[in-house]
Every structure is written in C-alpha cells, then in structure tokens.
Amino acid sequence: MSEPQQLQRRLGTFDATAIGLGSMLGAGVFVVFAPAAALAGNLLVLSVVVAGVVAYCNAVASAALAARYPTSGGTYVYGRKQLGEWPGFLAGWGFVTGKTASCAAMALTFGSYVAPDYAVPVAVAAVVALTGVNLLGITRTALLTRILLCVVLATLVFVAIAAILGPHPAAEPTGVPSGGAGGVLPAAGLMFFAFAGYARIATLGEEVKDPARAIPRAILAALAAAFAIYLALALLLLNHLPGGQLAASRTPLLDAVLKSGLSAGAPLVQAGAAAACLGALLALITGVGRTTLAMARERDLPGPLARVGGRHTVPFVAELAVAAVVILLLLTTDVMTVVGFSSFGVLLYYAVANASAYTMEEHPGYAPRWLNAVGFVACLVLAFTLPPVSVLTMAGVLAAGVAGRWLVLRLRQHQPRA
C-alpha cells in the first residue's frame, strides 16, 4: 500500500494559538452564560472554574500526546496508538458527529444574527464561503482566523467596559436563584462546550512547525487566555445582571450592553457575535476535516476521504464532505439543540485523550500521570451530569457508529484475499 499523502507544516506557534483561541471564543461565549446561569445561579463563577480545571487536565494530556504524535486526527490517533482501535474509533466518531452538528448550529447562529428572516440561506452561504477559504490552504485559514479573533476580542472588551460602568442592581435576596449548588456540575458541563476549541490545535498537528515545542505552547496559551476571559465575563455579568436576569436572557452579552450607558454600541456586539460564529465555524470545519482525513487513512471512514492534493495541499475531499453534511443538516433538521449533544461527545473524546496520556511511558513535567487520571474521571462525571436527552442521543449515535464499524470489519474478514 502506498504511503498516505502528507499535509505541509506551515503554521507557527502564534497561528496555532490564534486558531485555538478563535475556536474557544466562538458563538458559545455569546450564549452559553445564560443556560449555565439558569443551572448554577450566582455560583456561575464556580462552574467556570470547574470547567476550566477539567479543560486544563484535558489540555495538558492533549499537548503531551500531540508532541508525541504530531499528525492530523488528534485523539482519534492517540487512542489508536495508546489504547487500541476501538477507543480511538469512539473518540473520532464522537468528535466528527458532535462537531459536525456544532458546525451547523454555529452557521445558523451566524445567519440569525445577520439576517434573521433568511437565516438558513445565509448559514449555507457561510459554510460554502468558509470551505472555500479552507481549500485555499491552512495559512489562509489562519489569517482569516486572526482577523475574526481581533473583532471578537474588541467586542468582548467593549462588553466588559459596559458591565463595569453599570448600573449594578442590588443582588437578589435568595442569593442563588435557579439550581444553585446542585446545578454547578451540569452548568460546568455546558461551560465546557465553550472551552473545547483547543482540540483544533491538536487536530492540526501535521501542519504545525516544530510540533513538539509549538503545540504544547499553543494549547496552554490559548486555554489560559480563554479561561481568563470567561472568568472575567462571568464576574462582570453577575455583577451587572444578577443571576435571575442573566439566566432569563437569550443574548446575555448584548443585554449587558443594552442595560448600560453604552447601549448605542449594541450593533458592535451583534457584529462581534457574527464574527465569533464565523471564526468558530472556520476552525470547526478545519478540525472535523482533519479528523475525517485521519479516520479515512485507517479505513474507519471511506478511503476517498483521505485524499490530499491541490495547489495548497489540503484534504479537499474531507473538507467538501464535511461541508455537504453540514448543509444537509441545515436544510433538514433543527440544529439549535446540539450544545449538550456536542458536549457529551467532546467529553468522551477527552476521556479517551486522558486515558491515552496515562498510558504513555514518559510524561512531561506539565502533564503528570495523576493529572490524566483526574481528567479522565472529571470528563465522565461532567458527561453523565448533562441533560438526559443529550446523553441518550449521543449514546445512540455512538452505538450506530460502533455497529457500522463492526459490520464493515466482519465483511472485510469474509472478502477473498487478492
């Protein structure tokens, strides 16, 4: 069998960090605080901290593994190398299915901000346009990500200033509306959805220069920046919009500006949300495409998806296939209910990453074995405290994938050898 075509190493540490941070500061930051506050109330900050700690465990495991296996595919590859084919398949299948649904939700969110009456056509156009950017090469993807990230960061700074200026209503007498301490873990599971973008850095391992050095730095830098931003926003929003108001808001960052003396800047927040959607969608399509490429190389997905080529050396068949599935979802399903679904799939993905890192013979100082064990248990705890419908839906998708792979393997065993 001929060697698979390889991607080219064109990304530096700064580019990889920008892609990871751009993924984390996606549309989730503009909406996730409200459902999380509905569960945890004024303990929202604690949920952010819990999600951040779990994300850190996962990030150091991913960094250590990516430095050891600098190739496309992320935890799908690590699971296969360290644990075996089936754990790797579960990680890859959970990531591809969950994040493909997230792509559709992100695109529709963009369409809803830009043109609510034509949200689906605009969403489809966004998927087509961003897929075109990806086909122009990873350096074009990184450039557009940096531009969009700058817009999002400027928007978040503006929201923070609005929240600081107030007004600041008196705290609610109950102290902990809606859920309280019992809602901290489910809220952390939802908040984790907003932290999961650093996986995109690992899935691009085959395209990063000096990966053993650059990937760990990029992952940890992106996570540290995202954690600081989320923690600051949670504190400011709770001070500006007490727990009950925050939980009831569909657009908490926009409401924070509208309830301040800077309400004239609301269009800036809408533009920032649109840019965040585009940035996250761009990174999502890129990451799902690379994991699809890796799974096709191992024949866990159809072989043609592994084709790499074109002037800019990209996995063009995988990219086009992902775009086609996302567009199909946009045209045929309700894709706005996938946050919990995606969170469960990604938490399982990182559980496999932590288990894979635990089995490594050598551990870098930043990723001790005990931290991998903590990350593994924490991922499973957060996954199974998500709403039951999310758990059951993703469990069904995983079961379908396992059954399909088992059937294909059985058929291959009975095929006559050439």
pLDDT digits (tens, 9 = 90+) for 315-336: 778 889 999 999 998 888 776 5
Q: Which pLDDT value is given to residue 124?
A: 94
Q: Which pLDDT value is given to residue 8?
A: 66
Tell me: pLDDT of 349 over 50: yes
Helix (H, G, I), strand (E, B) or coil at 10: coil
Of 127 and 66, the structure prediction assigns the larger pLDDT to 127
Domain layout of the chain by residue ranges: 13-407
> Which residue's structure tokens are 């409200």?
34
* CA–CA separation, 108 and 328 (whole Å): 12
Q: Which pLDDT value is given to residue 6?
A: 59
* CA–CA separation, 306 and 280 (whole Å): 24
Of 265 and 4, the structure prediction assigns the larger pLDDT to 265
Q: Are 178 and 16 in contact (CB under 8 A)?
A: no
Q: Which pLDDT value is given to residue 174?
A: 42
Top-ranked range on mean pLDDT: pick from 4-8, 126-130, 249-253: 126-130
The predicted-structure confidence for 69-126, as pLDDT tens digits, reads as follows 877 777 899 999 999 999 999 999 998 998 888 888 888 888 887 887 898 999 999 9
Tell me: pLDDT of 342 over 50: yes
* Nearby residues of 87 by Cβ (< 8 Å), 6 or more positions away: 79, 80, 352, 355, 356
The predicted-structure confidence for 220-237, as pLDDT tens digits, reads as follows 888 899 899 999 988 888
Q: Dig out the tokens for 53 from the structure.
A: 């700690």
Over residues 119-148, mean pLDDT: 83
DSSP per-residue letters across 150-216: HHHHHHHHHHHHHHHHS--PPPPTTSS-TTGGGGHHHHHHHHHHHHGGGHHHHHBGGGBSSHHHHHH
Over residues 145-158, mean pLDDT: 86
Tell me: pLDDT of 175 over 50: no
> Which residue's structure tokens are 């064990």?
373
What's the predicted TM-score (pTM) here?
A: 0.80
Tell me: pLDDT of 1 over 50: no
Nearest to 209 by CA among 413, 417, 3, 13: 13
Q: Which pLDDT value is given to residue 311?
A: 65
Percent of the chain with pLDDT over 70: 86
Q: Buried (b) or exposed (e) across 337-359, using 16+ Cβ within 10 A? A: ebbbbbbbbbbbbbbbbbbbbbe
Q: Which pLDDT value is given to residue 27?
A: 63
The predicted-structure confidence for 371-414, as pLDDT tens digits, reads as follows 999 999 999 988 888 778 888 888 999 999 999 999 999 988 87
Of 186 and 245, the structure prediction assigns the larger pLDDT to 186
Q: Average pLDDT, whole number, for the chain?
A: 82
What CA dihedral angle connects 263, 266, 272 and 275, to 10 degrees?
180
13-407, CATH topology level: Amino acid/polyamine transporter I (1.20.1740)
Of 33 and 211, the structure prediction assigns the larger pLDDT to 33
Q: Which pLDDT value is given to residue 138?
A: 65
Tell me: pLDDT of 177 over 60: no
Residue 204 phi/psi, 5-degree rounding, is -95, 15
Percent of the chain with pLDDT over 90: 20
The whole-angstrom distance between residue 385's C-alpha and the CA centroid of its chain comes to: 19
Q: Which pLDDT value is given to residue 176?
A: 43
Q: Are 108 and 284 in contact (CB under 8 A)?
A: no
Tell me: pLDDT of 238 over 80: yes
Cα dihedral across residues 381, 58, 106, 253: positive or negative: positive
DSSP per-residue letters across 291-327: HHHHHHHTTSS-GGGG--BTTTTB-HHHHHHHHHHHH
Q: Which pLDDT value is given to residue 104?
A: 86
